Amino acid sequence: MNKLNIAPINQGKIQVDLLDNADGLTVKLVGDIDMEDPSLLLDPFFEKVHQGMVAGKIPFVVADFQGLTFLNSSGIKAVAKWIMKLAMLPPDQKYQIRIAHNKAITWQVTSLPTLTFLVPGAVKIQ
Amino acid sequence: MAKPDGYIEIRFGPRWKYISPARVFIQNFIAIALSDQAKADAIAMATSELLENAVKYGASEDTHCIVQAFPDTGVIQASVTNQATEKNAADIRALYNKIMTGDPLEAYITQMREAATRTDGKSQLGLVRIRYETGADIQLDITPTHQVTITIIVK
């Protein structure tokens, strides 16, 4: 278990886990997110990460998409919803989401950079 | 348009579980037809999004997908047809008119911000995602009986 005590998602073709790393935390997404309503799984997970980041005053989290082979638009909505939470935070509670992506996976190259436009400064592509 | 070198037609009852294998099949078909993996990935994503919409909002037991490859020009044409209700047909028309105007990236960002605040379980991101990420020409046809066909042409 990670330092925020958030349990992983391991359902069907999806694995999402929060991992401790040397610099802080990594949300690691693996598999295919192509179910009808991924928000049922992702929204509560991202909400817990968000609350933990704010409470712990952790400056950034890595969102590692490199092992995610597909993400449908409903999944993009869930990620966008997480990012939009950062727009509501006062400056002293803000943190950054640093996206790690796989340039060999076409959708990651075209989809993930668009997330940097949602909330200025909130998301960085690594 | 010239005669396609590759052509596939898929029909299935509107079940979510068939979308993923259809996407993988289309991806492999285009990769072989055009020897262009990036284009195969993009079309597979786009048709998957269209099939998701067709299954979510379909009003009959038939979802129909046609994909044509034109290797001489590198053009791919894909269309997905389903029967909708009058309300769903009107909703897709309104969404199409909204997201097809203006800059594709701006439209995508705007729609993502709206999606993040929706509480009805919909994302309404599929079409705008296709427009931005594939650069496709997207056509919408709705018959008087509310049969909806969305066609994308990627060059």
Domain ranges of chain A: 9-125
| pTM of the model as a whole | 0.94
Spell B97-132 as b/e; 16+ CB within 10 A means b: ebbeeeebeebbbbbbbebbeeeeebbbbbbbbbbb
CB contact under 8 Å between A84 and B117, yes or no, is yes
For A112, which residue in chain B has the nearest alpha carbon?
A: B133
Parallel, antiparallel or unpaired: strands A25-33 and A14-20: antiparallel
B60-85, pLDDT tens digit by residue? 888 999 999 988 888 999 999 999 99
CB contact under 8 Å between B37 and A39, yes or no, is no
CB contact under 8 Å between A80 and B112, yes or no, is yes
Contact B65, B78 (CB under 8 A): yes
Domain coordinates in residue numbering, chain B = 6-154
| B117: contact with A, CB 8 A cutoff | yes
If pLDDT is split at 50, 70 and 90, which confidence band does B6 have? confident
CB contact under 8 Å between A74 and B117, yes or no, is no
Q: Which CATH class is domain B6-154?
A: alpha beta
How far apart are the C-alpha atoms of A59 and B41, rounded to whole Å? Answer: 35
Q: What are phi and psi of A124, to 5 degrees?
A: -130, 135
If pLDDT is split at 50, 70 and 90, which confidence band does A55 have? very high
Yes or no: domain A9-125 corresponds to CATH 3.30.465.10 = no
If pLDDT is split at 50, 70 and 90, which confidence band does A108 have? very high
Q: What are phi and psi of A74, to 5 degrees?
A: -70, -35
Mean pLDDT of chain B: 92
CB contact under 8 Å between A83 and B23, yes or no, is no
CB contact under 8 Å between B115 and A80, yes or no, is yes
B120-155, pLDDT tens digit by residue? 888 999 999 999 999 999 999 999 999 999 999 999
B19-32, pLDDT tens digit by residue? 999 999 999 999 98
Chain A residues interacting with chain B (CB cutoff of 8 angstroms) = 32, 34-37, 39, 70, 72-74, 76-77, 80-81, 83-84, 105-107, 110-111, 114-115, 117-118
For residue A73, give how far its alpha carbon lies from the nearest alpha carbon of chain B (Å): 6
In this predicted model, which residue has the larger pLDDT, B57 or B83?
A: B83
For B132, which residue in chain A has the nearest alpha carbon?
A: A110
Which of A35, A81, A102, A106 would you mutate first to test chain B, the one with the most B CBs within 10 A? A106
Across the range A54-60, mean pLDDT stands at 94
Parallel, antiparallel or unpaired: strands A96-100 and A123-125: parallel
Length of chain B: 155
Those of residues 37-76 in B touching chain A at CB distance below 8 A are: 37-38, 41-42, 45, 48-49, 52, 56
In this prediction, residue B122 carries a pLDDT of 87
How far apart are the C-alpha atoms of A34 and B50, rounded to whole Å? Answer: 13
